C-alpha cells in the first residue's frame, strides 16, 4: 500500500513519521524545525504523502516534505522546506541581510516545471539569481537543512511571516 493511502485517513503529523523515513540526524534537524514552526504560531497541516503545508494568517508559507517513495534517487531519505510563491522573490532582491539573501538564492532549485524557463541552465540561472521576470514559480528548496542552514531557514520563515504582517496593514 502506498504512503499516501496509509496517511490519508490519519493525516499524521511530521513528528509522527519522521523517524520511519529519515536517519537520526535528519530526524533531529527536522523535529527542531517543526518545533520552531509550532512555537511561532505557524500552522502545519497534512497535504499529501509525507507532505505538510505551513501557513500563517491564512497565507501559505511553504511546504515541509519527506522524500521516501523514490528509493533509487539521491533525495530518498531526505527532507526539505520549499515554497514556490513568486510574490516573495522581489522582496528577496531588496533584503538588507546579504547572508540570508545569498542563502536563499543559493537554494533556488531550477527544474522543468512546465510553466517557465526553469529547465534552462541551472547554474547560469543561479549565477544571475533568476530574474523575477523569467520565472513564474521560483522553486526554492532547502534540502536537509541543519546547523547554519537550519538557522537561515528559520530566518526565512520569520522574514516571510513579517511580510505577511506588513501586507495585512
Which three cell numbers mark 108? 533556488
Rg (CA), the chain: 16
The three grid cell numbers given for residue 12, joined into one nine-digit string: 499524521
Inform me whether the pLDDT recorded for 112 exceeds 50.
Answer: no
Contact 61, 87 (CB under 8 A): no
Per residue in 3-14, pLDDT tens?
888 899 999 999
For 21-37, the pLDDT digits (tens) are: 999 999 999 999 999 99
Do 72 and 29 touch, CB atoms closer than 8 A?
no
| pLDDT attached to residue 95 | 78
Q: Looking at the predicted structure, is the pLDDT value of residue 16 above 70?
A: yes
Q: Which residues pair with 52 in a beta bridge?
A: 46, 64
pLDDT tens-digit map of 113-141: 444 444 444 444 444 444 444 444 546 77
pLDDT at residue 106 greater than cutoff 80: no
Q: Phi first, then psi: what are they for 13, rounded to 5°? A: -85, 155
Amino acid at each position: 500500500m502506498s504512503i499516501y493511502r496509509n496517511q490519508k485517513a490519519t493525516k499524521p503529523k511530521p513528528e509522527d513519521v519522521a523517524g520511519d523515513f529519515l536517519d537520526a540526524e535528519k530526524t533531529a534537524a527536522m523535529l527542531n524545525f517543526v518545533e520552531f514552526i509550532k512555537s511561532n504560531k505557524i500552522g502545519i497541516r497534512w497535504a499529501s504523502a509525507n507532505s505538510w503545508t505551513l501557513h500563517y494568517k491564512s497565507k501559505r508559507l511553504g511546504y515541509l516534505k519527506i522524500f521516501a517513495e523514490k528509493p533509487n534517487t539521491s533525495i530518498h531519505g531526505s527532507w526539505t522546506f520549499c515554497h514556490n510563491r513568486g510574490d516573495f522573490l522581489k522582496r528577496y532582491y531588496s533584503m538588507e541581510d546579504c547572508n540570508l539573501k545569498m542563502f536563499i538564492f543559493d537554494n533556488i532549485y531550477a527544474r522543468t516545471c512546465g510553466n517557465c524557463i526553469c529547465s534552462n541552465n541551472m547554474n547560469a540561472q543561479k549565477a544571475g539569481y533568476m530574474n523575477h521576470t523569467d520565472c513564474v514559480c521560483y522553486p526554492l528548496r532547502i534540502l536537509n537543512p541543519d546547523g547554519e542552514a537550519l538557522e537561515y531557514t528559520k530566518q526565512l520563515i520569520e522574514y516571510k511571516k513579517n511580510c505577511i504582517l506588513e501586507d495585512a496593514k
